[in-house]
A = this chain, B = another copy of it.
Amino acid sequence: MTPAIDPTEQEVQQLARSLYHQAAEHKPSIFEPQDWLGKMIEWSLEDESLRIALFRFVDVLPSLDSAAEIGRHLEEYFAKVDHAFGGLVFLAQALRAGWLLAPVARHNVTRLARRFIVDEEPDALRSALETLRKEPAAFTLDVVGEATVSEKEALATQRRYLDLLQSLSAISASWPVIPQIDQGPDGPLPRINLSVKASALCARFDPLDPDSEKIVRERLRPLFSEAARLNAALTLDMEQYSFKDLTLSILRDLLEESEFQSQPHAAIAIQAYLRDAEHDVKELIQWARARKWRIGVRLVKGAYWDSEITWAKQKGWPIPVFLEKTETDANYERLTRLLLESYDVVDAAFGSHNIRSLAHAIVTAEKLGVPKYGYEIQMLYGMGEPIRQAIIRNGQRVRVYLPVGRLLPGMAYLIRRLMENTSNTSFLRQTYAEEEQIDKLIMPPPKKTITPSRKTARKRAAAVAVEPFQNEPLLDFSRAENRGQFAQALKTVRKQFARNYPLWIGGEELKTKKWLESVNPAAPEEVIGRVPVAGRGEAERAVVNAVEFFPEWSRTPASERAAFMFRAADIMRRRRIELAAWEVFEVGKGWREADADVAEAIDYLEYYGREMLRLSEPQVTQKLPGESNVYLYEPRGVAAVIAPWNFPLAILTGMTAAALVTGNCAVIKPAEQSPVMGALLMEILREAELPPAACQLLQGGGELGAYLVRHASVQLIAFTGSREVGLEILRTAYDHQPGQEHVKRVVCEMGGKNAIIVDEDADLDEAVVHILESAFGYQGQKCSAASRIILVDEIHDLLLERLVEAVRSLKIGPPEDPRNFIGPVIDAAAHSKIIGYLALGKREGKCVLEREAPTKGFFVGPAIFSEIEPDHRLANEEIFGPVLSVIKAKDFNHALQIANRSAYGLTGGVFSRSPAHIEKARREYRVGNLYINRGITGAIVERQPFGGLKLSGIGSKAGGPDYLLQFLEPRTISENTLRHGFVAPEELKN
Q: Which residues from chain A sit less than 8 Å from chain B, CB to CB?
A: 48, 52, 55-56, 59, 303-304, 306-307, 309-311, 313-314, 411-412, 415-416, 419, 423-424, 555, 619, 621-622, 624-627, 629, 631, 636, 726-727, 730-731, 733-736, 741-743, 745, 748, 763, 766, 903, 913, 918, 922-923, 927-934, 939, 942-947, 949-951, 953-955, 957, 960-962, 965, 968-976, 978-988, 990
A73 to chain B, nearest CB (A): 13
> Mind listing 12 A-B residue pairs with CB under 8 Å?
A304-B981, A306-B982, A309-B983, A310-B978, A313-B624, A313-B625, A314-B627, A622-B942, A631-B960, A928-B969, A960-B972, A962-B970
Q: Apart from A310-B626, A931-B974, A946-B972, what are 12 other A-B pairs with CB-CB below 8 Å?
A: A307-B981, A313-B625, A314-B627, A631-B945, A631-B960, A741-B951, A742-B949, A918-B975, A928-B971, A934-B974, A949-B971, A960-B970
Contact between A985 and B555 (Cβ–Cβ < 8 Å)? no
Contact between B981 and A416 (Cβ–Cβ < 8 Å)? yes
Q: Which residues of B contact A918 (CB under 8 A)?
A: 975
A753 to chain B, nearest CB (A): 12
Most buried by B among A625, A927, A982: A982
CA distance A984 to B626 in the complex (A): 52
A967 and chain B: residue at smallest CB distance: B955
CA distance A734 to B411 in the complex (A): 53
Which one of B726, B932, B947 lies within 8 Å of A974 (CB-CB)? B932
CA distance A48 to B306 in the complex (A): 58
Contact between B314 and A981 (Cβ–Cβ < 8 Å)? no
Q: Which residues of B contact A939 (CB under 8 A)?
A: 972
A217 to chain B, nearest CB (A): 27
Which one of B619, B742, B932, B969 lies within 8 Å of A973 (CB-CB)? B932
CA distance A59 to B982 in the complex (A): 10
A638 to chain B, nearest CB (A): 14
A897 to chain B, nearest CB (A): 12
Which one of B314, B555, B731, B969 lies within 8 Å of A625 (CB-CB)? B314
CA distance A946 to B923 in the complex (A): 33
Known contacts A311-B626, A313-B625, A903-B741; is A55 also within 8 Å of B979 by CB?
yes
CA distance A622 to B306 in the complex (A): 18
CA distance A932 to B630 in the complex (A): 12
Contact between A629 and B972 (Cβ–Cβ < 8 Å)? no
Contact between A954 and B922 (Cβ–Cβ < 8 Å)? no
Known contacts A555-B923, A980-B59; is A748 also within 8 Å of B741 by CB?
no
Contact between B731 and A412 (Cβ–Cβ < 8 Å)? no
A609 to chain B, nearest CB (A): 17
Which one of B412, B627, B990 lies within 8 Å of A934 (CB-CB)? B627
A46 to chain B, nearest CB (A): 14
Q: Which residues of B contact A307 (CB under 8 A)?
A: 626, 978, 981, 983
Contact between B981 and A944 (Cβ–Cβ < 8 Å)? no
Contact between B974 and A944 (Cβ–Cβ < 8 Å)? yes
Please name the 4 residue pairs, one residue from A and one from B, whose CB atoms are nearest each other, closest first: A310-B626, A955-B969, A932-B975, A934-B976
Q: Which residues of B contact A960 (CB under 8 A)?
A: 621, 631, 970, 972
Contact between A972 and B945 (Cβ–Cβ < 8 Å)? yes
Most buried by B among A48, A629, A968: A629
Q: Which residues of B contact A734 (CB under 8 A)?
A: 730-731, 733-734
Contact between B971 and A929 (Cβ–Cβ < 8 Å)? yes
Q: Which residues of B contact A931 (CB under 8 A)?
A: 973-976
Contact between B742 and A951 (Cβ–Cβ < 8 Å)? yes
A213 to chain B, nearest CB (A): 25
Q: Which residues of B contact A945 (CB under 8 A)?
A: 621, 631, 970, 972
Known contacts A621-B945, A622-B943, A741-B951; is A929 also within 8 Å of B965 by CB?
no
Known contacts A741-B951, A960-B970; is A982 also within 8 Å of B415 by CB?
yes
Contact between B624 and A974 (Cβ–Cβ < 8 Å)? no
Q: Which residues of B contact A726 (CB under 8 A)?
A: 743
CA distance A621 to B988 in the complex (A): 38
A551 and chain B: residue at smallest CB distance: B924
Which one of B631, B903, B982 lies within 8 Å of A55 (CB-CB)? B982
Q: Which residues of B contact A973 (CB under 8 A)?
A: 922, 929-932
Contact between B980 and A415 (Cβ–Cβ < 8 Å)? yes
A49 to chain B, nearest CB (A): 9
Which one of B412, B419, B933, B976 lies within 8 Å of A932 (CB-CB)? B976
Contact between B314 and A624 (Cβ–Cβ < 8 Å)? yes
Q: Which residues of B contact A555 (CB under 8 A)?
A: 923
A979 and chain B: residue at smallest CB distance: B59
Q: Which residues of B contact A731 (CB under 8 A)?
A: 734-736
CA distance A734 to B717 in the complex (A): 14
A130 to chain B, nearest CB (A): 31
CA distance A371 to B381 in the complex (A): 112
CA distance A974 to B954 in the complex (A): 20
A971 and chain B: residue at smallest CB distance: B928
CA distance A619 to B960 in the complex (A): 11
A981 and chain B: residue at smallest CB distance: B307
A86 to chain B, nearest CB (A): 23
Q: Which residues of B contact A968 (CB under 8 A)?
A: 955
CA distance A976 to B943 in the complex (A): 13
Contact between B930 and A974 (Cβ–Cβ < 8 Å)? yes
Contact between B306 and A988 (Cβ–Cβ < 8 Å)? yes
A300 to chain B, nearest CB (A): 14
A954 and chain B: residue at smallest CB distance: B743
Contact between B930 and A971 (Cβ–Cβ < 8 Å)? yes
Known contacts A303-B981, A419-B981, A981-B306; is A972 also within 8 Å of B957 by CB?
yes
A314 to chain B, nearest CB (A): 6
CA distance A81 to B953 in the complex (A): 51
A313 to chain B, nearest CB (A): 6
Contact between A972 and B929 (Cβ–Cβ < 8 Å)? yes
CA distance A797 to B411 in the complex (A): 90
Contact between A727 and B743 (Cβ–Cβ < 8 Å)? yes
A5 to chain B, nearest CB (A): 33
A895 to chain B, nearest CB (A): 17
Contact between B981 and A415 (Cβ–Cβ < 8 Å)? yes
Contact between B748 and A743 (Cβ–Cβ < 8 Å)? yes
A937 to chain B, nearest CB (A): 11
Q: Which residues of B contact A419 (CB under 8 A)?
A: 981-982
Contact between A943 and B621 (Cβ–Cβ < 8 Å)? yes
CA distance A932 to B412 in the complex (A): 68
Contact between B970 and A957 (Cβ–Cβ < 8 Å)? yes
Q: Which residues of B contact A306 (CB under 8 A)?
A: 625-626, 978, 981-983, 988
CA distance A930 to B310 in the complex (A): 50
Which one of B416, B627, B735, B969 lies within 8 Å of A980 (CB-CB)? B416
A416 and chain B: residue at smallest CB distance: B981
Q: Which residues of B contact A949 (CB under 8 A)?
A: 742, 969, 971
A632 and chain B: residue at smallest CB distance: B922
Q: Which residues of B contact A984 (CB under 8 A)?
A: 48, 52
Contact between B626 and A953 (Cβ–Cβ < 8 Å)? no
Contact between B972 and A930 (Cβ–Cβ < 8 Å)? yes
CA distance A213 to B194 in the complex (A): 107
Which one of B629, B727, B745, B943 lies within 8 Å of A943 (CB-CB)? B629
CA distance A951 to B712 in the complex (A): 13
Contact between A971 and B741 (Cβ–Cβ < 8 Å)? no
CA distance A49 to B424 in the complex (A): 59
Contact between B943 and A975 (Cβ–Cβ < 8 Å)? no
Which one of B309, B955, B976, B986 lies within 8 Å of A636 (CB-CB)? B955
Q: Which residues of B contact A735 (CB under 8 A)?
A: 731
Contact between B636 and A742 (Cβ–Cβ < 8 Å)? no
A947 and chain B: residue at smallest CB distance: B970
Q: Which residues of B contact A970 (CB under 8 A)?
A: 928, 945, 947, 955, 957, 960, 962
Contact between B415 and A621 (Cβ–Cβ < 8 Å)? no
Known contacts A955-B636, A968-B955; is A983 also within 8 Å of B310 by CB?
yes
A578 to chain B, nearest CB (A): 29
CA distance A579 to B965 in the complex (A): 37
